Structure 1
């Protein structure tokens, strides 16, 4: 169970930049740990279409992002759509004020094991399928992050014996400095370059997911994707692969029309058959890749092959 005792945020003034889904979750959660949320957004209250009375313990500075807020901030929390080049954020950097987001605050405090998943494409399907595999294996499972629930909102109900599957965007990963023990980068193709500026910066943001894992972590990467292969050397733990085009010693692969798990994704260490391509309800080669990714991830988490097989055959995205 999540504990409120001794949280480092107690008594801190936390400036939330951006008051959409993630910002609102932060404004609800921060008072629970004894912090004071101070909300700023470039939009007015009317433009946000939010009832501010629902957040009685927050202070609001709307219709702009005044740089003067750094004078009272102990920490800055950035919502996903907010560029880190914002003058308020740059001023905070100059003053060495900690900058974070809802995803990092959750990862640092969640009592249950977390699986983190990112990718330029396929991450929602893969995240959902992994969640279903964990549920089928008997775990109480929470699926959220960039999809579904903002996980801070539901963390109070989580227990150490539960499991969490978390979809993460490049925006969230820009500020990630500690990562889940099991983490996957499905693929990295040009995306959000209006925000990140260059492909190199975009790849660096994605790579944060595996560059900040514990030493005993497991990183699952798409073998058939150039971008995912390029970040292999940033991984701090073991690397597993999934591939439609080659047999891999650790992970999941396609041989003919059959899907297998192997190595650390297998319960025996040897290749174990999961299903045939025709067993996958979702059509298209990209969904074969998504299913292989889910099998490698679930296998790394100790889910047995028969559970994967049953889940795949009945799965609906």
Structure 2
């Protein structure tokens, strides 16, 4: 019997705040997470690519999950991202996360090694059998070289606690294909910022967003208006948002979005090495995009009342 899951709506892939010395800034993280939820977001994804997860220790990842749960007060889902290259390390973090009480895990395919379809299915099967937590499959073949295809998802959907997929194949047709193949068995989350409205219109249940970290009200408005059928209003905001959303589909997405947070006053540009803050012509270009968006920021309409 398939496990039901109520994950839906806007889930920020949150950035991780660091002090000037490079340590985790717990207070800044908690403040930012709470602000996102206060602005209408429905859950939090911690320690992902945008959260600089590759630079975090397992203890820091679990600490971020703890901070997020404090910020949410248990009212919103906190999902921990796991991206590991070895099954043993993946299972260790998964079991520690379950013991700590996270609400679920977003699991990437094996890192570094380009696993075959059978190896990838075995990876997810092993994870699901080791935990009672709900799991979200993260499919991002553009960045990580492994495509969790519709047929692979069909097989994984036979496992009760695999409940959702973050779809980042850069092809909105995949949302329709998954829905046609699996009905409502899996929650489908749009994972590409500048395909989010399109994904919503063809049946996605949620949006795991990046620019939401600086612009939560606009992100939530687009999603809620689209879901309510108020497409003209959603599209007007989305067109304004489009140049910003393109900053998420970039190798410098972390630096881009942290600059956006700094300009709106909810973060700093501090990143953890090997990343460096934006500089020179590149920084000037991104800042110009952000300042133009802030200059032309639209007034938002009243949003639908939640049922």
TM range (shorter): 0.3 to 0.5
TM-score by length of 2: 0.35
Structure whose alpha-carbon radius of gyration is higher: 1
The one of the two structures with greater contact order (alpha-carbon pairs below 8 A, sep at least 6) is 2
The TM-score, its normalising length taken from structure 1, stands at 0.34
